[in-house]
């Protein structure tokens, strides 16, 4: 597998903008420039716990916050704890945080346990907002012949319109890359992100279900929400 060295290490600071613009070199950003990259996409989750409760609320998902090294089309890899590189000739179809947001929306929809879910920016009136931070989204070399895909997501569930944080949770999964080549790395990412998304969906819906019941009891007592 070819690894393109991070531009943070090999070019002057003036050119760091090329990493922000998708982990590409200037030549790759120009029309018709650079080698054609293989495009990869991951899959949403479609299986969840059988006892997952159905909720009657509407949920809006914000784009995950991410560092500049992750907020890119490049498929990131760490050979050492202090470096960040990208696989050459391979890209995600969207910048990683936007891809994760899309897959989370689809995963919530696939649960069939929520009235409506959408991205931030739609006209949907949100009962809850899910704020997330994509803290890890890279392959990592644990040794010269042992590579893992690592995904870590912090999630905060916010009740609207009060903007009260109901709960916060970290979700992380690491899985060894089985086989050689970028496709093997992508397959490992698919499993790792799938695990994180499944737990995020189940946790979010469980928290919403508990809060819905609490708010319903308060309304019956005539308490303010």
How many helices (H) does the chain have, and how many strands (E)?
5, 10
Q: Which two tokens stand for residue 217?
A: 């009891």
Residue whose pair of structure tokens reads 């308490």 in the numeric block: 223
Please say whether the beta carbons of 119 and 70 come within 8 A: no
Query: What does R_g of the chain's alpha carbons equal in angstroms?
Result: 20
Domain 3-221 in this protein, CATH class: alpha beta
**pLDDT per position as a tens digit, 70-107:** 999 999 999 999 999 999 999 999 999 999 999 999 99
Q: What is the pLDDT of residue 171?
A: 98
Q: Strand 85-92 to strand 164-176: parallel, antiparallel, or no bridges (unpaired)? A: unpaired
- Between helix 96-111 and helix 182-221 the angle, nearest 10°, is 60
- What contacts 157, CB < 8 A, 6 or more positions away? 128, 129, 130, 131, 165, 166, 167, 168, 204, 207, 208
The candidate with the shortest Cα–Cα distance to 150, out of 103, 90, 84, is 84
Give CA–CA dist 209/192, Å, rounded.
26
- Is residue 17 over pLDDT 50? no
pLDDT level of residue 8 (50, 70, 90 thresholds): very low
Question: Is the predicted pLDDT of residue 111 greater than 60, yes or no?
Answer: yes
> Looking at residues 60-74, what average pLDDT do you find?
97
Q: Which of 11-20, 85-94, 102-111, 147-156 has the lowest mean pLDDT?
A: 11-20
Average pLDDT for 58-78:
97
User: What is the reported pLDDT for 16?
Assistant: 30
The whole-number pLDDT of residue 97 equals 98
Domain ranges of the chain: 3-221
Task: For residue 179, give the DSSP letter.
Answer: S
Mean pLDDT, the chain, rounded, equals: 86
């Amino acid at each position: 597998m070819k690894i393109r060295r991070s531009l943070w290490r090999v070019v002057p600071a003036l050119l760091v903008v090329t990493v922000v613009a998708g982990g590409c070199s200037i030549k790759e950003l120009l029309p018709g420039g650079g080698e054609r990259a293989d495009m990869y996409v991951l899959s949403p989750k479609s299986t969840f716990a059988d006892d997952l409760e159905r909720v009657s609320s509407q949920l809006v998902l914000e784009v995950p916050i991410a560092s500049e090294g992750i907020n890119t089309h490049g498929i990131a890899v760490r050979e050492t704890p202090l470096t960040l590189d990208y696989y050459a000739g391979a890209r995600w179809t969207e910048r990683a945080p936007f891809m994760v947001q899309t897959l989370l929306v689809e995963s919530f929809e696939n649960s069939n346990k929520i009235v409506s879910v959408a991205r931030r920016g739609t006209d949907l009136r949100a009962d809850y907002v899910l704020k997330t931070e994509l803290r890890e989204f890279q392959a990592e070399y644990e040794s010269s012949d042992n590579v893992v895909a690592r995904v870590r997501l912090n999630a905060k569930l916010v009740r609207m319109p009060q903007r009260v944080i109901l709960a916060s949770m970290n979700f992380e999964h690491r899985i060894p890359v089985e086989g050689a080549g970028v496709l093997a790395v992508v397959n490992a990412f698919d499993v790792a992100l799938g695990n994180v998304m499944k737990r995020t969906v189940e946790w979010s819906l469980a928290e919403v279900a508990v809060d819905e019941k609490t708010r319903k009891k308060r309304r019956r007592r005539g308490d303010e929400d």
